[in-house]
Chain A
């Protein structure tokens, strides 16, 4: 056995490379030398401890809180675009038209304080369910309601798409 011990740096290198790249002389030395074996053992213990998983450092709500900061402080607010505004107004007008058509327009215009669904139904002379009313009032009502809902839906979808458009523009601008 040669007396020349392996340096601690060399021993760490051996462990880093899983003992690959050691010369036969070095291997033989470690096999025969208690001092070097001791150092290998000490470093092995240290390596094992260093690789041990540590307890969670961040609180469990870290992700949600960080996302909230990004949403509130970083992302630009996506306002109502011109197109969604048109759709929303169109939708609301259709719904209003349907209501005026369903209830007596005069009762609305007269501003009757006691205006209610019951009085409107009584004034329009229809009794029974809404489906009965819609059949009595002809095919216009369901079409208006349907069109109104569709337009409101489009407005909501447009608003969501606008958010994506705004985000894309944000990333391009940064």
Chain B
């Protein structure tokens, strides 16, 4: 509640002409925006430009923000929609090849990795980031919003425009896919090391 009041005052000051204070908005929310954009936009060279585009849009639309949601949710929605427009332009699929067999799970299961391979490929966090990047875009986005940004289903649903039930099922399927992929590649004891 306190943060909401603080955000209100900050926005009011910017709208009153103290535009330099928008810097605080960027500082506060750049991580959230980057989490969404970097998850949805696969072309590395475009990611930063899109993050900038998001903040320019936030600045331009600030006058129309009525605090009906949290400032973070509103900014995240702009980040999500900007990335979505980008994907539509690039004709990239949002939730593609969902079936496990199409994800090459069987093939992965057949591959064997020794603990040395595992060490060579860096720690579990790095392996996990790689695997999340291979997930369908919406799965990865929902995962990041839930686990890294600690957002509840309702907020994720507001940002993505997906019903609560879909958010929940995307999360469950994404986590199951990740777990199965990791276990197909590495033994549990290797991952726990």
Task: Verify if A167 is at the interface (C-beta below 8 Å from B).
Answer: yes
Interface residues of A in 45-82 (CB under 8 A from B): 45-47, 49-54, 56-59, 62-67, 69-71, 73-75
Contacts of B42 on A, CB cut-off 8 Å?
A: none
Given contacts A164-B18, A171-B15, A46 and B178 within 8 Å (CB-CB): yes
Q: How large is the interface on A (under 10, 10 to 19, 20 to 34, 35 or more residues)?
A: 35 or more
Given contacts A63-B27, A66-B56, A70-B22, A168 and B175 within 8 Å (CB-CB): no
Q: Mark A5-31, 1 if CB is under 8 A from B, else 0.
A: 000110010000000000000000000
Interface centre among B48, B64, B183 (most CB of A within 10 A): B48
Q: Interface residues of A: mostly helix, strand, loop or mixed?
A: helix
- Minimum C-beta distance from B98 to chain A (A): 15
Please state if B26 and A74 are interface contacts (CB–CB under 8 Å).
no
Please state if A69 and B56 are interface contacts (CB–CB under 8 Å).
yes
Please state if A46 and B129 are interface contacts (CB–CB under 8 Å).
no
Interface residues of B in 7-26 (CB under 8 A from A): 15-20, 22-23, 26
Please state if B48 and A174 are interface contacts (CB–CB under 8 Å).
no
Q: Mark B37-52, 1 if CB is under 8 A from A, else 0.
A: 0100000000110011
Contacts of B62 on A, CB cut-off 8 Å?
A: 171
* Smallest Cβ-Cβ distance to A71: which chain B residue: B19
Interface residues of B in 57-72 (CB under 8 A from A): 59-64
Given contacts A63-B30, A174-B64, A50 and B188 within 8 Å (CB-CB): no
Given contacts A42-B183, A74-B59, A174-B60, A54 and B191 within 8 Å (CB-CB): no
Interface residues of B in 120-140 (CB under 8 A from A): 124-125, 128-129
Please state if A57 and B34 are interface contacts (CB–CB under 8 Å).
yes
Contacts of B171 on A, CB cut-off 8 Å?
A: 12
Task: Verify if B35 is at the interface (C-beta below 8 Å from A).
Answer: yes
Task: Verify if B118 is at the interface (C-beta below 8 Å from A).
Answer: no
Contacts of A74 on B, CB cut-off 8 Å?
A: 56, 59-60
Interface centre among B23, B48, B175, B182 (most CB of A within 10 A): B175
Task: Verify if B1 is at the interface (C-beta below 8 Å from A).
Answer: no
Please state if A174 and B175 are interface contacts (CB–CB under 8 Å).
no
What separation, in Å, do the CA atoms of A164 and B124 have in the docked complex?
51
Task: Verify if B172 is at the interface (C-beta below 8 Å from A).
Answer: yes
Please state if A50 and B147 are interface contacts (CB–CB under 8 Å).
yes
Please state if A70 and B59 are interface contacts (CB–CB under 8 Å).
yes
Please state if B59 and A49 are interface contacts (CB–CB under 8 Å).
no
Q: Mark A134-174, 1 if CB is under 8 A from B, else 0.
A: 00000000000000000000000000000111111001101
Please state if A168 and B17 are interface contacts (CB–CB under 8 Å).
yes
Please state if A12 and B172 are interface contacts (CB–CB under 8 Å).
yes
Contacts of B30 on A, CB cut-off 8 Å?
A: 58, 62-63
* Smallest Cβ-Cβ distance to B128: which chain A residue: A49
Task: Verify if B55 is at the interface (C-beta below 8 Å from A).
Answer: yes
> Which of A52, A57, A66, A167 is B26 in contact with, Cβ under 8 Å?
A66
- Minimum C-beta distance from B56 to chain A (A): 6
Contacts of A9 on B, CB cut-off 8 Å?
A: 172
Please state if A63 and B35 are interface contacts (CB–CB under 8 Å).
no
> Which of A45, A54, A75 is B19 in contact with, Cβ under 8 Å?
A75
> Which of B16, B26, B34, B59 is A164 in contact with, Cβ under 8 Å?
B16
